[in-house]
Structure 1
Amino acid sequence: MTRAQRRPSGFTAVRIRRHATGLLMAGGLIALSACGSGDDSDGSAKRPVPTSSAPAPETSSASADTQKQAKDTVLQAYEDFWAEQVKAYGQADIKGTNLKKYATKKALGRAMGDVLVMKEAGTTTEGAPTHKATVTSLTLTGDVPKASLSDCLDISGWKTVKTKTGAVQPFPSNQPLRYVTTAKAERWGNQWMITDLTPNGNRTC
Protein backbone atom coordinates (compact mmCIF):
# COMPACT_ATOMS: atom_id res chain seq x y z
CA MET A 1 0.00 0.00 0.00
CA THR A 2 1.39 3.35 -0.96
CA ARG A 3 0.77 6.54 0.98
CA ALA A 4 0.29 9.90 -0.62
CA GLN A 5 2.72 12.45 0.77
CA ARG A 6 1.47 15.62 2.44
CA ARG A 7 2.82 18.84 0.99
CA PRO A 8 2.55 22.14 2.57
CA SER A 9 0.98 23.14 -0.47
CA GLY A 10 4.64 54.54 9.25
CA PHE A 11 7.07 77.21 15.31
CA THR A 12 6.59 78.62 15.51
CA ALA A 13 8.90 80.83 13.54
CA VAL A 14 6.72 83.86 14.05
CA ARG A 15 8.51 86.88 12.83
CA ILE A 16 9.01 87.92 16.42
CA ARG A 17 11.98 85.55 17.06
CA ARG A 18 12.31 83.78 14.53
CA HIS A 19 1.30 45.26 8.81
CA ALA A 20 2.17 44.62 6.42
CA THR A 21 3.04 41.22 7.80
CA GLY A 22 1.92 38.81 5.04
CA LEU A 23 0.13 35.73 6.36
CA LEU A 24 2.02 33.05 4.50
CA MET A 25 -0.12 30.35 6.08
CA ALA A 26 -3.17 31.44 4.12
CA GLY A 27 -2.87 28.45 1.83
CA GLY A 28 -3.94 25.50 4.04
CA LEU A 29 -2.46 22.03 3.90
CA ILE A 30 -4.15 19.56 1.62
CA ALA A 31 -4.23 16.01 2.98
CA LEU A 32 -4.43 13.12 0.59
CA SER A 33 -6.08 9.90 1.76
CA ALA A 34 -4.21 6.63 1.43
CA CYS A 35 -5.23 4.40 -1.40
CA GLY A 36 -6.90 1.04 -0.53
CA SER A 37 -5.34 -2.30 -1.13
CA GLY A 38 -6.23 -4.14 -4.28
CA ASP A 39 -8.00 -2.86 -7.40
CA ASP A 40 -11.55 -1.70 -8.06
CA SER A 41 -13.85 -3.89 -10.06
CA ASP A 42 -12.93 -1.89 -13.15
CA GLY A 43 -9.29 -2.48 -12.47
CA SER A 44 -8.44 1.14 -11.66
CA ALA A 45 -6.85 2.19 -8.40
CA LYS A 46 -8.80 4.32 -6.00
CA ARG A 47 -8.07 7.99 -6.34
CA PRO A 48 -7.06 9.94 -3.23
CA VAL A 49 -9.81 12.31 -2.13
CA PRO A 50 -8.49 15.70 -1.01
CA THR A 51 -9.93 17.16 2.14
CA SER A 52 -11.13 20.72 2.21
CA SER A 53 -8.48 23.37 2.71
CA ALA A 54 -8.11 24.79 6.18
CA PRO A 55 -9.63 28.28 6.38
CA ALA A 56 -7.22 31.19 6.45
CA PRO A 57 -6.97 32.86 9.84
CA GLU A 58 -8.94 36.05 10.13
CA THR A 59 -6.90 39.21 10.20
CA SER A 60 -7.95 41.55 12.94
CA SER A 61 -8.11 45.23 12.14
CA ALA A 62 -8.05 46.22 15.80
CA SER A 63 -4.41 47.31 15.69
CA ALA A 64 -4.91 49.47 12.60
CA ASP A 65 -8.03 51.01 14.09
CA THR A 66 -6.15 51.84 17.29
CA GLN A 67 -3.37 53.51 15.34
CA LYS A 68 -5.78 55.57 13.25
CA GLN A 69 -7.75 56.68 16.29
CA ALA A 70 -4.57 57.70 18.07
CA LYS A 71 -3.32 59.66 15.04
CA ASP A 72 -6.63 61.49 14.77
CA THR A 73 -6.44 62.38 18.46
CA VAL A 74 -2.88 63.66 18.11
CA LEU A 75 -3.84 65.84 15.15
CA GLN A 76 -6.81 67.26 17.04
CA ALA A 77 -4.58 68.13 19.99
CA TYR A 78 -2.18 69.84 17.57
CA GLU A 79 -4.99 71.91 16.08
CA ASP A 80 -6.26 72.84 19.54
CA PHE A 81 -2.74 73.84 20.56
CA TRP A 82 -2.47 76.13 17.56
CA ALA A 83 -5.86 77.71 18.21
CA GLU A 84 -4.82 78.60 21.76
CA GLN A 85 -1.39 79.81 20.65
CA VAL A 86 -2.92 82.11 18.05
CA LYS A 87 -5.25 83.44 20.74
CA ALA A 88 -2.31 84.13 23.05
CA TYR A 89 -0.35 85.92 20.32
CA GLY A 90 -3.41 87.95 19.43
CA GLN A 91 -3.36 89.51 22.90
CA ALA A 92 0.34 89.13 23.72
CA ASP A 93 -0.65 87.17 26.83
CA ILE A 94 -1.45 83.55 27.63
CA LYS A 95 -4.00 84.53 30.25
CA GLY A 96 -7.52 83.54 29.30
CA THR A 97 -6.25 80.81 26.98
CA ASN A 98 -6.01 77.03 27.35
CA LEU A 99 -2.47 76.92 26.03
CA LYS A 100 -1.20 75.03 29.08
CA LYS A 101 -3.82 72.34 28.43
CA TYR A 102 -2.24 71.45 25.10
CA ALA A 103 1.40 72.55 25.38
CA THR A 104 4.21 71.81 27.76
CA LYS A 105 7.97 71.65 27.94
CA LYS A 106 9.73 73.37 25.04
CA ALA A 107 6.55 74.15 23.09
CA LEU A 108 5.03 76.03 26.00
CA GLY A 109 8.29 77.76 26.81
CA ARG A 110 8.68 78.93 23.21
CA ALA A 111 5.15 80.32 23.11
CA MET A 112 5.57 82.11 26.43
CA GLY A 113 8.85 83.57 25.27
CA ASP A 114 7.30 84.84 22.04
CA VAL A 115 4.46 86.44 24.00
CA LEU A 116 6.94 88.21 26.28
CA VAL A 117 8.89 89.58 23.32
CA MET A 118 5.67 90.81 21.70
CA LYS A 119 4.52 92.51 24.87
CA GLU A 120 7.83 94.32 25.20
CA ALA A 121 7.71 95.32 21.52
CA GLY A 122 4.12 96.51 21.76
CA THR A 123 2.90 94.11 19.10
CA THR A 124 0.21 91.49 18.71
CA THR A 125 -0.98 89.38 15.79
CA GLU A 126 -4.07 89.39 13.63
CA GLY A 127 -5.48 86.56 11.54
CA ALA A 128 -4.09 83.05 11.80
CA PRO A 129 -1.70 80.73 10.01
CA THR A 130 -2.91 77.75 8.02
CA HIS A 131 -1.30 74.36 8.15
CA LYS A 132 -1.55 70.79 6.93
CA ALA A 133 -0.11 68.45 9.52
CA THR A 134 0.52 64.72 9.37
CA VAL A 135 1.66 62.24 12.01
CA THR A 136 5.00 60.90 10.86
CA SER A 137 5.61 58.46 13.72
CA LEU A 138 3.54 57.00 16.54
CA THR A 139 4.58 54.83 19.48
CA LEU A 140 1.79 53.65 21.76
CA THR A 141 3.88 51.27 23.84
CA GLY A 142 5.88 52.21 26.89
CA ASP A 143 5.06 54.38 29.86
CA VAL A 144 4.54 57.50 27.75
CA PRO A 145 3.06 57.15 24.23
CA LYS A 146 4.77 59.50 21.79
CA ALA A 147 4.18 60.95 18.35
CA SER A 148 5.98 63.14 15.83
CA LEU A 149 4.31 65.47 13.35
CA SER A 150 5.27 67.41 10.25
CA ASP A 151 3.38 70.51 9.19
CA CYS A 152 3.49 72.82 6.19
CA LEU A 153 2.87 76.13 7.90
CA ASP A 154 1.60 79.12 5.94
CA ILE A 155 1.90 82.39 7.82
CA SER A 156 0.94 84.69 4.96
CA GLY A 157 -2.41 85.48 6.60
CA TRP A 158 -0.95 85.98 10.07
CA LYS A 159 0.05 89.58 10.49
CA THR A 160 2.03 91.27 13.21
CA VAL A 161 0.62 94.66 14.12
CA LYS A 162 1.46 97.48 16.47
CA THR A 163 -0.88 97.31 19.44
CA LYS A 164 -1.48 101.06 19.71
CA THR A 165 -1.82 101.97 16.06
CA GLY A 166 -2.81 98.73 14.37
CA ALA A 167 -0.13 99.30 11.78
CA VAL A 168 0.83 96.08 10.05
CA GLN A 169 4.50 95.23 10.34
CA PRO A 170 5.97 94.00 7.06
CA PHE A 171 7.54 90.59 6.77
CA PRO A 172 11.33 90.59 6.64
CA SER A 173 12.50 90.20 3.06
CA ASN A 174 14.12 86.86 3.81
CA GLN A 175 11.11 85.48 5.70
CA PRO A 176 9.58 82.41 3.97
CA LEU A 177 5.81 82.44 4.20
CA ARG A 178 5.43 78.67 3.85
CA TYR A 179 7.84 76.34 5.58
CA VAL A 180 8.06 72.97 7.31
CA THR A 181 7.46 72.86 11.04
CA THR A 182 7.97 69.70 13.05
CA ALA A 183 6.44 68.87 16.40
CA LYS A 184 6.61 66.23 19.09
CA ALA A 185 3.75 65.10 21.31
CA GLU A 186 3.31 62.92 24.37
CA ARG A 187 0.18 61.48 25.91
CA TRP A 188 -0.18 62.44 29.52
CA GLY A 189 -3.10 60.48 30.95
CA ASN A 190 -5.86 60.89 28.38
CA GLN A 191 -4.52 64.11 26.88
CA TRP A 192 -1.95 64.47 24.11
CA MET A 193 0.39 67.37 24.79
CA ILE A 194 2.60 69.19 22.29
CA THR A 195 6.04 69.11 23.87
CA ASP A 196 8.22 70.64 21.18
CA LEU A 197 7.74 72.73 18.08
CA THR A 198 10.57 73.42 15.67
CA PRO A 199 10.39 75.75 12.68
CA ASN A 200 12.52 74.81 9.68
CA GLY A 201 12.66 78.08 7.80
CA ASN A 202 15.13 76.69 5.27
CA ARG A 203 12.65 73.97 4.24
CA THR A 204 9.90 75.61 2.26
CA CYS A 205 6.76 73.68 1.30
Structure 2
Amino acid sequence: MTRNQTAVVRRGPSGGLHRSTAVVLGVGMALAMSACSSKADKVAAAPSVQVPSPTSATATPSTVPTAKATADVLAVYQAYTDAKVAAMTTGHADPDKLLLVATGDAYDNLAGDITRAQQAGIVYKGTEVTHPQVTALNLSDSPQKATLTDCIDVSNWTAVFSSTGANAAATGMPGHLFVNVEAVQNTGSTWRISAYTPDRSRTC
Protein backbone atom coordinates (compact mmCIF):
# COMPACT_ATOMS: atom_id res chain seq x y z
CA MET A 1 0.00 0.00 0.00
CA THR A 2 1.40 3.45 -0.95
CA ARG A 3 0.66 6.97 0.09
CA ASN A 4 1.29 10.21 -1.71
CA GLN A 5 3.27 12.98 0.05
CA THR A 6 1.18 15.64 1.79
CA ALA A 7 2.78 19.14 2.23
CA VAL A 8 1.23 21.64 4.58
CA VAL A 9 2.44 25.26 4.61
CA ARG A 10 1.52 27.14 7.74
CA ARG A 11 2.60 30.38 9.35
CA GLY A 12 4.72 30.00 12.47
CA PRO A 13 4.75 32.22 15.55
CA SER A 14 7.46 34.46 14.12
CA GLY A 15 5.51 35.23 10.96
CA GLY A 16 7.76 33.13 8.67
CA LEU A 17 6.67 30.19 6.51
CA HIS A 18 7.30 26.64 7.80
CA ARG A 19 6.83 23.32 5.93
CA SER A 20 5.42 20.31 7.72
CA THR A 21 5.84 17.28 5.50
CA ALA A 22 4.74 13.72 6.03
CA VAL A 23 6.54 11.29 3.77
CA VAL A 24 5.85 7.58 3.54
CA LEU A 25 8.04 5.42 1.31
CA GLY A 26 6.22 3.88 -1.60
CA VAL A 27 5.82 3.71 -5.30
CA GLY A 28 5.01 7.44 -5.60
CA MET A 29 8.14 8.67 -3.69
CA ALA A 30 9.92 10.13 -6.69
CA LEU A 31 6.77 11.97 -7.78
CA ALA A 32 6.26 13.35 -4.27
CA MET A 33 9.85 14.60 -4.07
CA SER A 34 9.44 16.37 -7.39
CA ALA A 35 6.27 18.13 -6.17
CA CYS A 36 8.04 19.17 -2.95
CA SER A 37 10.93 20.68 -4.90
CA SER A 38 8.52 22.60 -7.13
CA LYS A 39 6.65 24.08 -4.15
CA ALA A 40 9.93 25.04 -2.45
CA ASP A 41 11.02 26.90 -5.58
CA LYS A 42 7.76 28.85 -5.57
CA VAL A 43 8.17 29.79 -1.92
CA ALA A 44 11.80 30.85 -2.48
CA ALA A 45 10.81 32.93 -5.49
CA ALA A 46 8.14 34.85 -3.59
CA PRO A 47 9.05 38.52 -3.09
CA SER A 48 10.55 39.22 0.32
CA VAL A 49 9.07 41.83 2.64
CA GLN A 50 11.57 44.23 4.21
CA VAL A 51 10.79 45.28 7.76
CA PRO A 52 12.05 48.77 8.72
CA SER A 53 14.89 48.66 11.20
CA PRO A 54 13.82 49.76 14.70
CA THR A 55 17.08 51.72 14.99
CA SER A 56 16.44 53.81 11.90
CA ALA A 57 12.83 54.39 12.94
CA THR A 58 13.80 55.89 16.28
CA ALA A 59 17.00 57.71 15.26
CA THR A 60 15.34 60.56 13.39
CA PRO A 61 12.96 61.75 16.14
CA SER A 62 15.76 61.60 18.75
CA THR A 63 17.86 64.10 16.79
CA VAL A 64 15.13 66.75 16.80
CA PRO A 65 15.59 67.99 20.41
CA THR A 66 19.37 68.05 19.95
CA ALA A 67 19.18 70.03 16.72
CA LYS A 68 16.73 72.54 18.20
CA ALA A 69 18.78 72.96 21.38
CA THR A 70 21.96 73.51 19.34
CA ALA A 71 20.25 76.17 17.22
CA ASP A 72 18.80 77.88 20.31
CA VAL A 73 22.16 77.91 22.10
CA LEU A 74 23.95 79.40 19.09
CA ALA A 75 21.20 82.01 18.75
CA VAL A 76 21.48 83.17 22.36
CA TYR A 77 25.27 83.26 22.08
CA GLN A 78 24.96 85.56 19.07
CA ALA A 79 22.47 87.71 21.00
CA TYR A 80 24.91 87.85 23.92
CA THR A 81 27.74 88.91 21.59
CA ASP A 82 25.55 91.58 19.97
CA ALA A 83 24.56 92.97 23.39
CA LYS A 84 28.18 93.05 24.51
CA VAL A 85 29.36 94.82 21.35
CA ALA A 86 26.53 97.36 21.55
CA ALA A 87 27.30 98.15 25.19
CA MET A 88 31.07 98.40 24.73
CA THR A 89 30.89 100.54 21.59
CA THR A 90 28.41 103.03 23.07
CA GLY A 91 29.58 102.96 26.67
CA HIS A 92 26.04 102.29 27.87
CA ALA A 93 24.13 99.12 28.66
CA ASP A 94 20.57 98.34 29.60
CA PRO A 95 20.71 95.83 32.51
CA ASP A 96 17.25 94.50 31.62
CA LYS A 97 18.37 93.69 28.08
CA LEU A 98 21.55 92.04 29.34
CA LEU A 99 19.47 89.84 31.63
CA LEU A 100 17.64 88.49 28.58
CA VAL A 101 20.84 86.92 27.26
CA ALA A 102 23.10 86.45 30.28
CA THR A 103 22.87 85.11 33.81
CA GLY A 104 25.14 84.19 36.68
CA ASP A 105 28.87 84.80 36.23
CA ALA A 106 28.45 85.76 32.58
CA TYR A 107 26.11 88.60 33.52
CA ASP A 108 28.22 89.77 36.48
CA ASN A 109 31.46 89.76 34.47
CA LEU A 110 29.95 91.54 31.46
CA ALA A 111 28.29 94.19 33.64
CA GLY A 112 31.60 94.65 35.47
CA ASP A 113 33.56 95.03 32.20
CA ILE A 114 31.10 97.67 30.99
CA THR A 115 31.30 99.59 34.27
CA ARG A 116 35.10 99.54 34.31
CA ALA A 117 35.26 100.76 30.71
CA GLN A 118 32.87 103.61 31.53
CA GLN A 119 34.93 104.63 34.55
CA ALA A 120 38.12 104.62 32.47
CA GLY A 121 36.47 106.59 29.66
CA ILE A 122 37.04 103.74 27.20
CA VAL A 123 34.82 102.60 24.36
CA TYR A 124 35.45 100.10 21.62
CA LYS A 125 35.44 100.45 17.87
CA GLY A 126 34.82 97.78 15.31
CA THR A 127 33.30 94.42 16.04
CA GLU A 128 34.12 90.87 17.04
CA VAL A 129 33.87 88.02 14.53
CA THR A 130 32.79 84.82 16.24
CA HIS A 131 33.11 81.16 15.23
CA PRO A 132 31.19 79.31 17.98
CA GLN A 133 30.81 75.56 18.22
CA VAL A 134 28.52 73.68 20.58
CA THR A 135 30.73 70.97 22.07
CA ALA A 136 28.33 69.41 24.58
CA LEU A 137 24.61 69.29 25.39
CA ASN A 138 23.04 67.90 28.54
CA LEU A 139 19.31 67.92 27.98
CA SER A 140 18.53 65.54 30.85
CA ASP A 141 19.59 68.01 33.55
CA SER A 142 17.29 70.64 35.01
CA PRO A 143 18.08 73.24 33.91
CA GLN A 144 19.45 71.93 30.64
CA LYS A 145 23.06 72.85 29.95
CA ALA A 146 25.32 73.43 26.97
CA THR A 147 29.02 74.02 26.45
CA LEU A 148 30.51 76.05 23.61
CA THR A 149 33.95 77.12 22.47
CA ASP A 150 34.77 80.07 20.27
CA CYS A 151 37.78 81.46 18.48
CA ILE A 152 36.98 85.16 18.24
CA ASP A 153 38.64 87.38 15.68
CA VAL A 154 39.35 90.57 17.64
CA SER A 155 41.73 92.11 15.11
CA ASN A 156 39.09 94.75 14.31
CA TRP A 157 38.00 95.23 17.93
CA THR A 158 39.91 98.19 19.38
CA ALA A 159 39.69 100.02 22.71
CA VAL A 160 39.98 103.82 22.47
CA PHE A 161 39.59 106.72 24.87
CA SER A 162 36.20 108.28 24.25
CA SER A 163 37.51 111.81 24.87
CA THR A 164 40.42 111.73 22.42
CA GLY A 165 39.98 108.66 20.25
CA ALA A 166 43.52 107.57 21.13
CA ASN A 167 44.29 103.87 21.25
CA ALA A 168 43.69 102.47 24.72
CA ALA A 169 44.49 98.83 23.98
CA ALA A 170 47.27 97.08 25.83
CA THR A 171 50.34 96.26 23.76
CA GLY A 172 50.82 92.77 22.42
CA MET A 173 47.15 91.91 22.25
CA PRO A 174 46.53 88.83 20.02
CA GLY A 175 44.33 89.01 16.96
CA HIS A 176 42.30 86.03 18.10
CA LEU A 177 40.87 85.08 21.47
CA PHE A 178 39.81 81.60 22.57
CA VAL A 179 36.87 81.49 24.98
CA ASN A 180 35.00 78.77 26.86
CA VAL A 181 31.27 79.41 27.13
CA GLU A 182 28.46 77.77 29.07
CA ALA A 183 24.71 78.21 28.63
CA VAL A 184 21.70 77.14 30.67
CA GLN A 185 18.03 76.90 29.85
CA ASN A 186 16.11 78.81 32.49
CA THR A 187 12.39 79.16 33.19
CA GLY A 188 10.27 79.45 30.07
CA SER A 189 12.65 77.37 27.92
CA THR A 190 14.88 80.41 27.37
CA TRP A 191 18.60 79.83 27.00
CA ARG A 192 21.06 82.28 28.55
CA ILE A 193 24.83 82.47 28.64
CA SER A 194 25.94 81.58 32.16
CA ALA A 195 29.74 81.59 31.86
CA TYR A 196 32.11 83.34 29.45
CA THR A 197 35.78 82.66 30.15
CA PRO A 198 38.62 83.82 27.90
CA ASP A 199 41.52 81.36 27.82
CA ARG A 200 44.62 83.31 26.89
CA SER A 201 46.79 80.23 27.25
CA ARG A 202 45.26 78.80 24.09
CA THR A 203 45.76 80.01 20.57
CA CYS A 204 43.40 79.56 17.64
TM-score range, shorter chain: 0.7 to 0.9
Alignment of 1:167-182 (within 5 A): 167-173=166-172, 175-182=173-180
Unaligned runs of 5+ in 2: 6-13, 24-28
Q: Indicate conservation of the 8 Å contact 1:129/1:155, yes or no.
A: yes
Deviation at 1:142, TM superposition (A): 2.9
CA RMSD of aligned residues (A): 2.4
Match of 1:56 among 29, 52, 56: 52
Q: Indicate conservation of the 8 Å contact 1:40/1:46, yes or no.
A: no
Distance in 2 separating the partners of 1:122 and 1:179: 23
Q: Indicate conservation of the 8 Å contact 1:128/1:157, yes or no.
A: yes
Distance in 2 separating the partners of 1:170 and 1:54: 67
Q: Indicate conservation of the 8 Å contact 1:30/1:53, yes or no.
A: no
Deviation at 1:65, TM superposition (A): 2.0
**Number of aligned residue pairs:** 177
Which secondary structure state, in structure 1, belongs to the residue aligned with residue 200 of structure 2?
A: strand
Structure showing greater relative contact order (alpha-carbon pairs closer than 8 Å, 6 or more residues apart) = 1
TM-score scaled by length of structure 2: 0.77
37-46 or 83-92, which deviates more: 37-46
Moved over 3 A (4+): 29-32, 42-45, 47-54
2:31 counterpart of 1:33: no
Match of 1:187 among 182, 185, 188: 185
Distance in 1 separating the partners of 2:21 and 2:61: 48
Q: Larger Cα Rg: Structure 1 or Structure 2?
A: 2
2:9 maps to none
2:56 counterpart of 1:71: no
Distance in 1 separating the partners of 2:81 and 2:175: 17
Distance in 1 separating the partners of 2:33 and 2:85: 90
Distance in 2 separating the partners of 1:159 and 1:70: 33
